[in-house]
Chain A
Amino acid sequence: MAHDIENNIPVHEETYQRISEHLVKFWTPQMRSDFYKHVTSNRDMFSETMNKVVDELRAKANA
């Protein structure tokens, strides 16, 4: 699902923000938490943008 979201949001300066907003706006906390864990252990499967989104969202969640 995360790949689908990324594929449908074109790459430009707002991409990071849009993906981030989408995950916060529509995903349950549990889904986000599971996703962060998945990305962390499979970083190569995801783009640089998605890794950045997850790093920052996880940091916010832990703050």
Chain B
Amino acid sequence: MTILSDPRGTMPMRSGIGEADFGTPKSNSEVMISVTIDGETHLVSEGTSVMRAAGENGCDIPKLCATDSLQPFGSCRMCIVEIDGRKGTPASCTTPVEDGMVVRTQTTKVAKLRKSVMELYISDHPLDCLTCSANGDCELQDMAGVAGLREVRYGMDGKNHLDAPTDSSNPYFSFDESKCIVCNRCVRACDEVQGTLALTIEGRGFNSKVSPGGLNFLSSECVSCGACVQACPTATLQEKSVIDLGMPTRTVQTTCAYCGVGCSFNAELRGDELIRMVPAKTGGANEGHSCVKGRFAWGYASHSDRITKPMLREKITDEWREVSWDEAIQYTATKLKAIQEKYGDNSIGGISSSRCTNEEIFVVQKMVRAAFGNNNIDTCARVCHSPTGYGLSTTYGTSAGTQDFKSVAHSDVIVVIGANPTDAHPVFASRMKRRIRDGANLIVIDPRKIDLVESAHIKADHHLQLQPGTNVAVINAIAHVIATEGLIDEEFVAQRCDPGPFNRWRKFIELPENSPEVVEAQSGVPAETIRQAARMYATGKNSAIYYGLGVTEHSQGSTMVMGMANLAMATGNIGRDGVGINPLRGQNNVQGACDMGSFPHELSGYRHVSDNAVREQFEMLWDVKLMSDPGMRIPNMFDNAISGEFRGLFVHGEDIAQSDPNTMHVEKSLKAMDLVIVQDLFLNETSKFAHVFLPGTSFLEKDGTFTNAERRINRVRPVMAAKNGKQEWQIVCELSQAMGYDMHYENAAQIMDEIAEITPTFKGVSFAMLDEVGSVQWPCNDAAPTGTPIMHVDGFVRGQGQFMETPFVPTEERSNRKFPLLLTTGRILSQYNVGAQTRRTANVTWHPEDVLEIHESDAAMRGIVNGQKIAVSSRIGETILTAEVSERVPAGVVHTTFHHPSSGANVITTEFSDWATNCPEFKVTAVEIRPADSSAAPTNTLESVLTKA
């Protein structure tokens, strides 16, 4: 039998066009020791495996079960070596180097053994290399070549697995069991990298096989992160796109455009066709890991729904008319100028998008301030993390999370508040779960029983299942315990914090009204649970808080952010690895949108528009007079549109008609405007009210940068040509020019140069610098030329940390007889925000519609069963959803997502918002539900049921 082996005859450290693989993880030891490999002596870090030491020094040892994203396993026996003074042939992957060790990797003895091992592998593997989808990117094929295998003495007619079935149930990859060599890499990747533990080895000996828990992949616990596919050394687990289109031939490194984790990916292409997205091991945020969205759900970029030509219409009831770019730009500028002439400079404004690059966002806010001549620029962060900006800048002096993602590996106590990382920030969640499996304590504060509360090898020490709307009461109660039980880090507070506000806060927080016993009645969380959680947080060596929109999207969102900031200062959990206050940003570039001056009161770098010195810098650079008063926030724009004062809106990459609360109000305001301009990939809900549609670019076409939740600035590189023929920043510049303000750049790098020139925290950033170092975390300037992974190390940005009193003010939105349930909203793993992207991918397989989670007692009380269509009504409106009876939510609380426009989740959310920032209170809406086929008004209320009982 002849083997079809790799004709290159050499063993590459990388297979195909992928990144180098050194077989075992890097050692972080700074102790260097001496090892001699094949006659050459090298200095390597203590703890490095022999395999890695050899690979790092240009000597490649064959391997199959080893890959450097996983701990060494030592099962394949391909990496055996000879070591002076040791018996036998130890596996180089599981053998750490020792000082003075002499290793021989290429002896006759090991060559013979490797060849024999390879012969056994190949004796039960299909010999279809030339037609195999992994041809050219198969480690088994490579190793057969390296081992010099030319013949297999054992016939294929014996017992084998060659007829094993292929599982194609997952929409993105297939599992061809006949090609599996049972190296365990996929199982270990699912355990170690992803932390889902969905895969296992079934059977023993020759009958051993990889199994997704005895089910097919789609029905299993698998979350389709792709870690197993990436780890597979053969074509057993293979992307369907590779099977269909062939192996990629070139790669472009770029950044994912989904959540705020900001994963780096190698976009792998064949010609101009994108074949697959492979997470980059060099990515600072993800270090080679991915989730189902970033890894697989990029097909929307080429979806047939894409609009690639500008379109106009006089009235929103007219049909769209395709026009040239010139006509679209001139029409828009003429209309905007006419509106301003008639209604004043302040009658128009813009909304920037956190899905766009820093460079695009910067030019949008510049256009509004310089060309529109007002500060009516706001951003979608208004509806998610604006309270983070307010709260952290007030207490610490800057609007950003304090840590890098790696920091969680040093945490001893992890507190997750109002966040669901396994669904919304899955790649970071994997890091977090790894640390929890390794022994960190976990406290979850959330009305829902999210996955982190209890899942494979994870169990929260405390779940504070509070009533929606009572975050501040609970954080105050935790602080009360810390203050009254002598757990304050007095030394840290004395050295780092402003004593006046601290003393006032201490007096406030010690009041009986903040005690766990009082708060139990408000929040539903047992006082003793609060006390235990508080002690755990305060006494942990390193305690970190991670939070999401369950903190910010409340009427007291800003208060809660300050409450958490107080807690970290009071316990000294700021300014080193493993601690801090960490917002998990919802969209890919929320941090960047805020950094770039997208709020109506701030210029880039969070400098207030009223600061004369700052404004003068911008005026000189931009050669224009700027307004010194804050402009309108998004809710102000809506209100003023209805009152007739605000008449024209440029909406950049947002679908406000779907994403913002109280849809009826939003639609009414959009209808009231004379000109609505939407720049987006698809005709979305907002475009139904638009007069101008300017086609945008997907992240695969953009050139620029995103800034993730850890302040990491990552390059976004064009993988394919812009389908609309222009970069979005060019379109904004052209509109600005047509408005009479000359804004011009040759390329996106020039925009970043301007950002760096005018923004102190970005002073050291340029495309050239990022291309050289990969990514950098701001502040990046003369004081921190290589960036700042952890903030507030020696002092707070504002100088002394400022404690803020955080009185609990219950929301006005409360359950009552008519609306006895509290609705809270969130996100699900496979979908993203309003679903414009993910709904246009196979991710709908997992989540074809939004559902309403309801506790079984609430369902039973109303005669509702799983899967039934139900009407959900609030005082604002009513929508129809499908019921999912669930133990995730407690009685009295229901939950839904807002990924599908048809479900209209925001038809029922209210106008209430954060007192400081107007961030909507998405997380608390009083509702009632009833079977959708019942047209009668709800009669089966809690009260009536209880009365009957």
Bound-state Cα–Cα, A10 to B601, Å = 24
Bound-state Cα–Cα, A31 to B918, Å = 14
The answer to whether A10 touches B508, judged by C-beta atoms less than 8 angstroms apart, is yes
Give which listed residue, B504, B630, B805, contacts A28 with CB less than 8 A.
B630
The answer to whether B915 touches A4, judged by C-beta atoms less than 8 angstroms apart, is yes
Bound-state Cα–Cα, A60 to B194, Å = 59
Bound-state Cα–Cα, A30 to B346, Å = 10
User: Is residue B636 within 8 Å, beta carbon to beta carbon, of the partner chain?
Assistant: yes
When A8-B559, A10-B508 are in contact, do A25 and B608 touch as well, CB less than 8 Å?
yes
Closest Cβ–Cβ distance, residue B509 to chain A (whole Å): 11
The answer to whether A4 touches B631, judged by C-beta atoms less than 8 angstroms apart, is no
Q: Of residues 1 to 34 in A, which have CB atoms within 8 Å of B's CB atoms?
A: 1, 4-5, 7-8, 10, 12, 22, 24-31
The answer to whether A28 touches B508, judged by C-beta atoms less than 8 angstroms apart, is no
When A5-B916, A8-B807, A8-B915 are in contact, do A29 and B556 touch as well, CB less than 8 Å?
no
Q: Of residues 24 to 63 in A, which have CB atoms within 8 Å of B's CB atoms?
A: 24-31
Give which listed residue, A7, A24, A30, contacts B915 with CB less than 8 A.
A7
Bound-state Cα–Cα, A4 to B915, Å = 5
The answer to whether B915 touches A28, judged by C-beta atoms less than 8 angstroms apart, is no
Interface core residue of A4, A12, A22, A28 (most chain B CB under 10 Å) = A28
Name which residue of chain A comes closest to B914, CB basis.
A4
Query: Inside 8 A of B504's CB, which chain A residues have their CB?
Result: 12
The answer to whether A10 touches B630, judged by C-beta atoms less than 8 angstroms apart, is no
Give which listed residue, B346, B640, B645, B916, contacts A26 with CB less than 8 A.
B916
Bound-state Cα–Cα, A26 to B609, Å = 10
Give which listed residue, B556, B633, B636, contacts A8 with CB less than 8 A.
B556
Q: What does the 1/0 interface line of B621-657 toward A look like (CB < 8 Å)? A: 0000000011111001000100001000000000000
The answer to whether A25 touches B809, judged by C-beta atoms less than 8 angstroms apart, is no
Closest Cβ–Cβ distance, residue B348 to chain A (whole Å): 14
Q: Of residues 599 to 631 in B, which have CB atoms within 8 Å of A's CB atoms?
A: 600-601, 608, 610, 629-631
When A5-B916, A8-B559, A10-B508 are in contact, do A26 and B809 touch as well, CB less than 8 Å?
no
Interface core residue of A26, A27, A31 (most chain B CB under 10 Å) = A26
Bound-state Cα–Cα, A29 to B631, Å = 8
Name which residue of chain B comes closest to A6, CB basis.
B915
Bound-state Cα–Cα, A31 to B630, Å = 10
Bound-state Cα–Cα, A12 to B916, Å = 19
The answer to whether A31 touches B559, judged by C-beta atoms less than 8 angstroms apart, is no
Name which residue of chain B comes closest to A29, CB basis.
B629
When A10-B805, A27-B630, A28-B630 are in contact, do A1 and B601 touch as well, CB less than 8 Å?
no
Q: What does the 1/0 interface line of B42-61 toward A look like (CB < 8 Å)? A: 00000000000000000000
Closest Cβ–Cβ distance, residue B701 to chain A (whole Å): 36
Closest Cβ–Cβ distance, residue A15 to chain B (whole Å): 10
User: Is residue B555 within 8 Å, beta carbon to beta carbon, of the partner chain?
Assistant: yes
The answer to whether A25 touches B807, judged by C-beta atoms less than 8 angstroms apart, is no
Bound-state Cα–Cα, A4 to B346, Å = 26
Query: Inside 8 A of A31's CB, which chain B residues have their CB?
Result: 636
Bound-state Cα–Cα, A28 to B639, Å = 13
Closest Cβ–Cβ distance, residue A23 to chain B (whole Å): 10
Query: Inside 8 A of B629's CB, which chain A residues have their CB?
Result: 28-29
Query: Inside 8 A of B805's CB, which chain A residues have their CB?
Result: 10
When A5-B915, A8-B559, A12-B504 are in contact, do A28 and B632 touch as well, CB less than 8 Å?
yes
Bound-state Cα–Cα, A33 to B915, Å = 19
When A25-B601, A25-B608, A31-B636 are in contact, do A8 and B916 touch as well, CB less than 8 Å?
yes
Bound-state Cα–Cα, A10 to B636, Å = 26
The answer to whether A22 touches B630, judged by C-beta atoms less than 8 angstroms apart, is no
Closest Cβ–Cβ distance, residue B907 to chain A (whole Å): 23
The answer to whether A1 touches B915, judged by C-beta atoms less than 8 angstroms apart, is yes
Q: Which bracket fits the contact residues of B?
A: 20 to 34
Name which residue of chain B comes closest to A25, CB basis.
B601
Closest Cβ–Cβ distance, residue A17 to chain B (whole Å): 13
Interface core residue of A8, A12, A22 (most chain B CB under 10 Å) = A8
Query: Inside 8 A of B633's CB, which chain A residues have their CB?
Result: 26
Bound-state Cα–Cα, A36 to B504, Å = 30
Bound-state Cα–Cα, A31 to B375, Å = 14
Query: Inside 8 A of B917's CB, which chain A residues have their CB?
Result: 26
Q: What does the 1/0 interface line of B533-561 toward A look like (CB < 8 Å)? A: 00000000000000000000001101100
Name which residue of chain A comes closest to B374, CB basis.
A28
Query: Inside 8 A of B556's CB, which chain A residues have their CB?
Result: 8
The answer to whether A10 touches B807, judged by C-beta atoms less than 8 angstroms apart, is yes
Bound-state Cα–Cα, A30 to B807, Å = 29
Query: Inside 8 A of A7's CB, which chain B residues have their CB?
Result: 807, 809, 915
Query: Inside 8 A of A27's CB, which chain B residues have their CB?
Result: 630
Bound-state Cα–Cα, A49 to B601, Å = 25
Query: Inside 8 A of B555's CB, which chain A residues have their CB?
Result: 4
The answer to whether B559 touches A26, judged by C-beta atoms less than 8 angstroms apart, is no
Closest Cβ–Cβ distance, residue B854 to chain A (whole Å): 30
Bound-state Cα–Cα, A10 to B645, Å = 35
Bound-state Cα–Cα, A27 to B635, Å = 12
When A7-B915, A8-B915, A8-B916 are in contact, do A28 and B809 touch as well, CB less than 8 Å?
no
Closest Cβ–Cβ distance, residue B873 to chain A (whole Å): 26
Closest Cβ–Cβ distance, residue A58 to chain B (whole Å): 15
Closest Cβ–Cβ distance, residue B634 to chain A (whole Å): 13
Bound-state Cα–Cα, A8 to B559, Å = 8
Name which residue of chain A comes closest to B608, CB basis.
A25
The answer to whether B915 touches A25, judged by C-beta atoms less than 8 angstroms apart, is no
The answer to whether B559 touches A25, judged by C-beta atoms less than 8 angstroms apart, is no
The answer to whether B809 touches A8, judged by C-beta atoms less than 8 angstroms apart, is yes
Bound-state Cα–Cα, A3 to B809, Å = 11
Q: Of residues 239 to 261 in B, which have CB atoms within 8 Å of A's CB atoms?
A: none
Bound-state Cα–Cα, A23 to B299, Å = 46
Closest Cβ–Cβ distance, residue B767 to chain A (whole Å): 34
The answer to whether B809 touches A4, judged by C-beta atoms less than 8 angstroms apart, is yes
Closest Cβ–Cβ distance, residue B564 to chain A (whole Å): 16
Bound-state Cα–Cα, A6 to B163, Å = 73
Closest Cβ–Cβ distance, residue B872 to chain A (whole Å): 26
Query: Inside 8 A of B346's CB, which chain A residues have their CB?
Result: 30
Query: Inside 8 A of A8's CB, which chain B residues have their CB?
Result: 556, 558-559, 807, 809, 915-916
Query: Inside 8 A of A12's CB, which chain B residues have their CB?
Result: 504
Give which listed residue, B630, B631, B640, B645, contacts A25 with CB less than 8 A.
B630
Bound-state Cα–Cα, A28 to B375, Å = 9
Query: Inside 8 A of B508's CB, which chain A residues have their CB?
Result: 10
Query: Inside 8 A of B630's CB, which chain A residues have their CB?
Result: 25-28
Closest Cβ–Cβ distance, residue A30 to chain B (whole Å): 7
When A8-B807, A27-B630, A28-B631 are in contact, do A22 and B636 touch as well, CB less than 8 Å?
no
Bound-state Cα–Cα, A5 to B916, Å = 7
Closest Cβ–Cβ distance, residue B476 to chain A (whole Å): 12
Closest Cβ–Cβ distance, residue B663 to chain A (whole Å): 21
Query: Inside 8 A of B645's CB, which chain A residues have their CB?
Result: 30
Closest Cβ–Cβ distance, residue A33 to chain B (whole Å): 11
Closest Cβ–Cβ distance, residue A59 to chain B (whole Å): 18
Closest Cβ–Cβ distance, residue A16 to chain B (whole Å): 15
Name which residue of chain A comes closest to B501, CB basis.
A14
Closest Cβ–Cβ distance, residue B391 to chain A (whole Å): 11
Bound-state Cα–Cα, A28 to B601, Å = 9
Bound-state Cα–Cα, A26 to B636, Å = 11
Bound-state Cα–Cα, A22 to B601, Å = 11
The answer to whether A22 touches B631, judged by C-beta atoms less than 8 angstroms apart, is no
Bound-state Cα–Cα, A12 to B555, Å = 22
Closest Cβ–Cβ distance, residue B393 to chain A (whole Å): 11
Bound-state Cα–Cα, A17 to B238, Å = 63
Q: What does the 1/0 interface line of B908-921 toward A look like (CB < 8 Å)? A: 00000001111000
List 12 A-B residue pairs with CB atoms under 8 Å apart, sorted by A's residue number: A1-B918, A4-B555, A4-B809, A7-B809, A7-B915, A8-B558, A10-B807, A12-B504, A25-B610, A26-B633, A26-B916, A28-B600
Binding site for B on A (CB under 8 A): 1, 4-5, 7-8, 10, 12, 22, 24-31
The 10 closest A-B pairs by CB, nearest first: A4-B915, A10-B805, A7-B809, A8-B915, A29-B629, A5-B915, A10-B807, A28-B632, A8-B559, A26-B601
New A-B contacts (7) at CB < 8 Å, excluding given A8-B559, A29-B629:
A4-B809, A8-B556, A8-B916, A25-B601, A25-B630, A26-B633, A30-B645
